Each structure stands twice: as structure tokens, then as C-alpha cells.
Structure 1
Amino acid sequence: MNTILILEQSLNGLQFGLMLFLLAAGLTLVFGIMDMINLAHGSLYMIGAYLVATFSQASGSFWLGLGLGVLATVLVGVLLEYTILRRLYHRDHLSQVMGTFAILLMSNEIVRIIWGAQPLMLNPPAALAGPVMLMDGFSYPAYRLLIIGVGLAVALLLWLLVTRTRFGMQVRAGAANREMATAMGANVRRLFTLVFALGAALCAVAGGMLGPLLAVQVGMGESILILAFVVIVIGGIGSIRGALLGALLVGLVDTAGRTLVPLLFDKAMGPEVAANAGPAVASILIYVLMAAVLFYKPQGLFPAHD
């Protein structure tokens, strides 16, 4: 184990964690303000990736495709909120889970009908296809560095939006106490729609940025949705800073575990055990992390009311 490997895996974990944050931020706001368990959030991530890939192929420009894909996903999200999800706000959590899970399954089939079952290609910008030399003996893909930069920029803009604007004040008030926010004059229905639109936009950015690294395919939202829920449980429901810290922790633990645990098993117990047990142990580390956080802080690291 050397410095280059540690640095590379740290950057991979940072990149993955920031993209998880984009998903978890919208999910935690919807959960915290609307008190709604939205399993359809993963569908918006998948739809966003498909729309970005489609517009990029049609226009020949990754950036134009990303912008158009984000706008189109926002429209899909607002339409979904207005026509279906609005009717689930006052239902119990079981009804919300069943309703949004049905939307998730239907979204998969709709995407399969429109785009087919084969993965869709999404290429990064040609100028960022190669590596960047960061230090002697260590180069890192330029596109992954772009993802880190975009993730940090979006996190900063989201922090400014939540902490420095009237909309952000209403969002924080709604996350802490929805009834009091309503009594103080907040337009809750409009706030819900805006929050859902913001969450859809963040999903599309994450899907579009991760598309060139991961396969743009049917069902891609399910696995990452589970990780997003782990993030908001660790960070605290309704908390943006909790979502950021939780996403970074999950990203670093998941990435480091998948690389370092097999290496440690190989040194301690041999290559056969490392090949069989290493990946299995690595895959549960984030859930061990979640259990440890919940044991010491059941409300998460940064609950919305703190």
C-alpha cells in the first residue's frame, strides 16, 4: 500500500461522495420538509441520465446535452409532483412507499419502451478524455477532476441558496417545523413544488456527470437510491450539511473499502480468502458505518433542527 494508491482512492471517494450528495440533498429536503418517503427519486436520476445522453448525442455537445437534460428532468419532476405525488403528501408512509415504488417500476418500463433495453452511450467532453499529471508518478483522469469540481461548486451554491435566501429560510423552517412555517405565511404547496424541482435538477446533474463513468441503463437508479437513503440517515433527515458530510463519509468508506479490504485480506489470509470474502466485507462497511452513527446519534450527525 503506497501513497499513490491512497491518494487515488481518496479522490475516487471524494468524487463518488459529491455525486451522492447531489442525490441525497434533494431526497433529504423532500423527506424533511414534506415528510414523504420518495422512492421515485432514483427514477429521476435514471431519467436525467437518459435525457442528458440523448440530448448530447443529438447536439454533439456534452455541455449542451447536460443543460437541456437538466431542464427536461426538472419538467418531468414538476409534472410528476403535480399529477401524482401531491396526492400522497397526507397519506401514511406505507402508502407513500408503495405509490413511489410503483412509479419506480413504471419508470423503468417506460424508459425501456422509449430507449430500449441496451445501455445508452454518454461520452465525456473530448478535451477531458485524458489524464492530468498531479504529481510525479501520479496522474488522474481529467473528467473525474471535473466531477469533483462540479460537485464542490453545486454544494457551495446549494449552501448559499439554503442559508442566504428567503427560499432557503423557508426550506429550513419547513424542515424543522412544517406547521410553524405554514402558520408564519410560507406557501407550502409552492415550496413543495420548488423543492421537488430542485431535487430533480440535482438528480439530472448527478446522472449526467456519472453517465460517462457508469452505464446509462434501465434500473440504474435503484442501487444508488439505497446509498442516498444511507447518506441522509447518517447525516440527519432534512439537513444539507448532514447530507454533505454523510455523502463524503459513505463515498470514502465505500471506495476505500472495495480497494483496501481485499488487499488486507490478501496479506492476512491469502489470495483465495481475499477474492471470496474481501468484496463481501467491503460491501457492508457503509451499513456498519450507518449502524455506528445511529447507535451514538439516532437523529443523525446534523439533524435539521440543530
Structure 2
Amino acid sequence: MTAFWTLQVLNALQHAALLFLIAAGLSVSFGLMGFVNLAHGALYMLGAFIGISVAAQTGFWVALIAAPLAVSAIGALLYLCLLGRVARLGPMPQVLVSFGLVFIATELVRIVWGDIPLVLDPSAALAGRVDLAGATYPVYRLFVICIGAAMAAALWLGVNRTNLGAALRASVENPGMARAIGIRTERMFLLVFTLGAGLAGLGGVVAAPITAANPGMAVSALIPALIVTVIGGMGNIAGAALGALIVAGIEVFGAVLFPAASAVLIYAALAVALIWRPEGLLVAKGAR
């Protein structure tokens, strides 16, 4: 029994790590920039498929770096050419345009990669299983947990303990004053959007060996990412991590303890969060 619950805890941590990678960029762009970017799920999907293509030619480790960089470039291009302009028009145009991009990206993926689910094989160094508290657990899933934890720590330190993070916080809390002292706020927002896109791409390529990549993942990944963002608090890295842990715990343990109701538990948690703390459990100062 101890081994069983150890497996469930590890599964929850692994699921939380993936949710954090998807939701962190969405939370920052939504909370700090005030931009409703529903195309985030499409960036996650592109990270998975680009990673699979790169890995087929150069191997897993190159794909792990190349896919997030490629998706970051796509995100920056989208922001400069389209989404940056739409951001000034209000929530409804943002929702319509970004969700339209989801359908465009989904059809492009079907054209380029087809409609058959694809799986990425991880490096041989990450194959096998290890013993933990009487349970055997895949090495690759532990690797995913480590990536999620490392990204969470790096983002928190970057936002709260660096000059660049201070400039970003100033751009959010008082854009006019930030511009007056020489901070290029538009460049800050472009950087945030690009970083969020890269995190989504990293989440996609990391998830590909666990969940088969398919065109439907653009929407299926977006819904839990939005729930994580709302529960944890918009614009807060710690909130995104906390929300990911809560949602992952509900999904994993709910499937074990309440299998008949597991599909609705996260929506019930969302409803409770909106009633109890509609601003989220943790919210960034100056979040929009």
C-alpha cells in the first residue's frame, strides 16, 4: 500500500511539473500583461511536434533545446506581427484572435505531421526505472519533475531577484513612470510573451514521450492551464506552481479515490476558488 501511494504522489508531482510549464507563461501574460492568450495551447502543441521532428534527425537532447527556441521565435513573431496589436483592443478581440490561431495551428499540424498520434522516444540515459520507497518509477518521469522544479525556481529568481525582473515589475505596476525612467515597456512585454511561448514549447517536447502528440492537444492542454492560472493567481510564478500542484493532486488522487466523479473534480475546485478567492490564491502585485 505504501508503494501504491508513493506512485500516486510521484504521478501528481510529474503531472504538476507539466502543468506548470504550460501554465506559467499563460499566467504571466494573462496576469502581468492583461493579455488573454488562448493560443498558448497551440504553442504547447507545436513544441511537441517540432521536438519529435528534431529528435528524429538529431536526438532527444538537441530537441529538448531546439523545440523551445523554435516556439519562442514563433511566439515573438506572432506578438510582433499580430498579437501585440490585438493586445490594445481589449479582452474580446484577444480571445477571438488567439483562439482563431488555435484552429489555424491545428490544421497546419494536420497538414505537416498528419492526424496520427506521434510519440517521442527519450534518451537512453533516461530509460529504465528506479526504486523509491518500495515503488519502482520511470527515470524519465523523475526527470520531468526535476525540469519543472528547476524552471519554477529559475523563473521565481528571475522575476524577484534580478534587475530585469525589477524592470518588468515596474513596467507592470506603473508603465508611464517606467517609460519615464528609460525602461522600454513594449520590449519587456515582448520578452515576457516570448519566454511564455518558450515554456509552452518546453512543456510540449517534455510531454511528448509521456502523452502521444496529436492535434487535439492544443485545446486539451489549454483547459487545465487556464484552471491552474485562475486557482493559483494571475501573474505569479509561485501561484502557477501552487495551482499546478493543486490541480494535479485533484486529477491524480481524484481518479484513484473518486473515479466516477474524477472528470468534474477540477471544475468543482475552480468553482470553489472563484467563490472563495476570485483573484487567486496568490496574486502578483500590480497584476492586471
Find the residue that maps to 2:214 and give its secondary structure: coil
In structure 2, relative to structure 1, the CA distance for the partners of 1:290 and 1:147 (3 Å cut) is: same
Task: Tell me the residue number matched to 1:298.
Answer: 278
Find the residue that maps to 1:140 and give its secondary structure: strand
Which among 90, 111, 114 is matched to residue 112 of structure 2? 114
**Structure 1 unaligned spans of 5+:** 263-277
Task: Give the residue type in structure 1 aligned to 2:242.
Answer: L
Q: Which structure has the larger Rg?
A: 1
2: distance between equivalents of 1:257 and 1:168? 37
Deviation at 1:143, TM superposition (A): 0.6
Task: Tell me the residue number matched to 2:28.
Answer: 29
Which among 232, 237, 257 is matched to residue 260 of structure 1? 257
Task: Tell me the residue number matched to 2:150.
Answer: 153
Is the Cα–Cα contact under 8 Å of residues 3 and 133 in structure 2 kept in the other structure? no
TM-score (norm 2): 0.95
Find the residue that maps to 1:284 and give its secondary structure: helix
2: distance between equivalents of 1:254 and 1:183? 47
Equivalent residue runs for 1:137-176 within 5 Å: 138-176=135-173
1: distance between equivalents of 2:86 and 2:118? 33
Alignment size in residue pairs:
286
Which among 208, 223, 228 is matched to residue 225 of structure 2? 228
Find the residue that maps to 2:136 and give its secondary structure: strand
In structure 2, relative to structure 1, the CA distance for the partners of 1:194 and 1:250 (3 Å cut) is: same
Task: Tell me the residue number matched to 2:216.
Answer: 219
Tell me, yes or no, if structure 1 residue 63 matches structure 2 residue 43: no
1: distance between equivalents of 2:176 and 2:226? 25
Task: Tell me the residue number matched to 1:190.
Answer: 187
In structure 2, relative to structure 1, the CA distance for the partners of 1:111 and 1:134 (3 Å cut) is: same
CA-atom RMSD in angstroms: 1.5
1: distance between equivalents of 2:74 and 2:41? 13
Task: Tell me the residue number matched to 1:96.
Answer: 94
2: distance between equivalents of 1:172 and 1:285? 34
Task: Give the residue type in structure 2 aligned to 1:83.
Answer: C
Is the Cα–Cα contact under 8 Å of residues 32 and 234 in structure 2 kept in the other structure? no
TM-score (norm 1): 0.89
Deviation at 1:122, TM superposition (A): 0.6
**Structure 2 unaligned spans of 5+:** none
1: distance between equivalents of 2:4 and 2:111? 42
In structure 2, relative to structure 1, the CA distance for the partners of 1:184 and 1:20 (3 Å cut) is: farther
In structure 2, relative to structure 1, the CA distance for the partners of 1:114 and 1:184 (3 Å cut) is: same
Counting aligned pairs with the same residue, the percent is 43
Equivalent residue runs for 1:277-296 within 5 Å: 278=260, 281-296=261-276
Q: Which moved more, 1:86-95 or 1:182-191?
A: 182-191
Task: Give the residue type in structure 2 aligned to 1:3.
Answer: T
Q: Deviation digits for residues 87-142 of structure 1, max 9, x if unmatched?
A: 10111211111111111100011111111122223111122221111133x11111
